[in-house]
Amino acid sequence: MNERKKRDNYPAAAVRHYKDGELLKKYYRTNNAMCHYAFASECAIKALYCAMRGDRAGRTTHDAAGLWGDLQQYCQILGVMNAKTGIIFSRKKIPERLFEDHPGRRYQSDAEYAESDMQEASEFSEMLIQEVISELLDGRIMPEVDEK
């Protein structure tokens, strides 16, 4: 496993990006807020995906929508054993503008986002982070430990 993958701490990064997004949204920096919501969602999806696989060698690109599709398929199968998990993931759709031009948009000028776009992105990110925290508390995701 390469050094970067060992250092990636997806659960912590998801929470950090979400908090940054909320702060930026509060000050009407919608483009930057949307970017942070996308990174928060991406990190949360990666945390859940890696936990699903039982390793850290999974797909770690910025293709969060592709990972989300894989995760939904897995959870539909898992839903047979755990109805709550199956329902949560199978019905959730990625907000339309969340991953638009992700991650390159962080270097672009501000886009126009409706309040509903921002609300959907915030709620989706928050839902994912709550799931990651739940998985951490249940021991299905192991917290990353800095090996310095």
Q: Which has more confidence, 52 or 31?
A: 31
Cis peptide before 103 (omega within 30 of 0): yes
Identify whether the C-beta of residue 56 lies closer than 8 Å to the C-beta of residue 116.
Answer: no
Token representation of residue 10: 């997806």
Domain assignment of residue 39, given as a range: 9-138
Residue 124: how many other CB atoms lie within 10 Å: 20
- Asked whether residue 4 is assigned to any structural domain, the reply reads no
pLDDT at 93: 76
- Asked whether residue 84 is assigned to any structural domain, the reply reads yes
Residue 81 has what DSSP assignment? Answer: T
Total domains present in the chain: 1
Any idea of the CA torsion for 120, 61, 13, 111, to the nearest 10 degrees?
-40
Task: State if pTM tops 0.85.
Answer: no
Average pLDDT, the chain: 75
pLDDT in tens, 98-145: 778 776 666 566 667 889 999 999 999 998 888 888 878 777 666 554
Q: Which position has the token pair 């897995």? A: 74
> At 24, which CATH number?
1.20.120.330
pLDDT in tens, 63-74: 676 777 776 666
pLDDT at 133: 84
